[in-house]
Amino acid sequence: MSLSLRTTRIAAAGSLVALALALAAAKAAVTVAVPCEGPPVAYPAVGEPPAIQVLYYDELGPRWAPPRCAGWQPANVAFLIATAGRFHHTGGVEEVAKRLGKISDYNEILYWSHTRQAWRPLMPEAFALAGPDPEKKRGDFTAAEMLAGDPRYFWQSASGKFAYRVQVRESDANRLVIEMENITGLQVLFLPVFKPGDARMLYFIEREDGDVWRYYAMIAVSGPFAAVVRSGHESFVNRAGGIFRYFAGIPMTQDPPPIRGNG
């Protein structure tokens, strides 16, 4: 082999390595702004639609490392949805905690189905649980129960039937930090699609000034098929918009939805 050919091949190999490192660095550079650390979150003005970002596995990379303040472990995240918005609220955190604890009202959370061109319930059925056992049904939680900071549990049907843990991690007169995660899994044809802990949610609801409040949600869904999930953008955005409206007390069917679609 001539020296010039060897040099060319070495240079080409070096370029490929450099490209691979650059691509890895680009993936590593994907960050998700959260209220508890890092750069400030960009919140739209009151009355404007929430800003909703959807990121997939090929953008986050393998073993995505969440912000440290989330308290989550790295995972192969299929998709991540971050929502930021502002809303008017003349009450305090107790009213927000009441909405959180009124599990039976979760079936009133609507999202716009861009395929059916209609408002659909995000959770057709939901009820509170007395503990992690999905068979132990109970009445809704009070605001005081939610603000106590103990784990609470509920069952819901939304793209599968799951039991969830919900817990207020932090609370004061002007701020709530809420965490949710699934505690039951889902199998399809005996294959595990979701394991307990694969769906994780973190909500920050805090007073900015007077009756102006900020809402931030980060939803991360992992699973064994994370690397092949790359669809559902409109559905993810509209569902996230419905959850924002529920906590903000905005009418569910208020037009326009985040993404209307063409049917």
CA distance 12 to 24: 18
Six token digits for residue 57: 């596995």
- Domains, the chain, with CATH or none: 31-248 (3.30.530.20)
Closest CA to 155 of 166, 146, 167, 144: 166
pLDDT value at position 159? Answer: 66
Pairing of strands 152-157, 161-172: antiparallel
Residue 36, Cα to own-chain centre: how many angstroms? Answer: 16
- Give the distance, in angstroms, between the CA of residue 215 and the centroid of all CA atoms in the same chain: 12
pLDDT of res. 118: 94
Distance of CA 132 to the CA centre of its chain: 21
pLDDT for 21? 38
pTM: 0.85
pLDDT digit string (tens) for 178-217?
A: 999 999 987 555 455 778 999 999 999 999 999 999 999 9
Count other C-beta atoms under 10 Å from residue 158's C-beta.
Answer: 17
pLDDT tier, 231 (very low <50, low <70, confident <90, very high otherwise): low
pLDDT at 132 over 70: yes
CA–CA separation, 26 and 29 (whole Å): 5
DSSP letter at 133? -
DSSP-based three-state secondary structure for 218: strand
Predicted confidence (pLDDT) per residue in 34-90, tens digit: 999 988 999 999 999 999 999 999 999 999 999 999 999 999 999 999 999 999 999
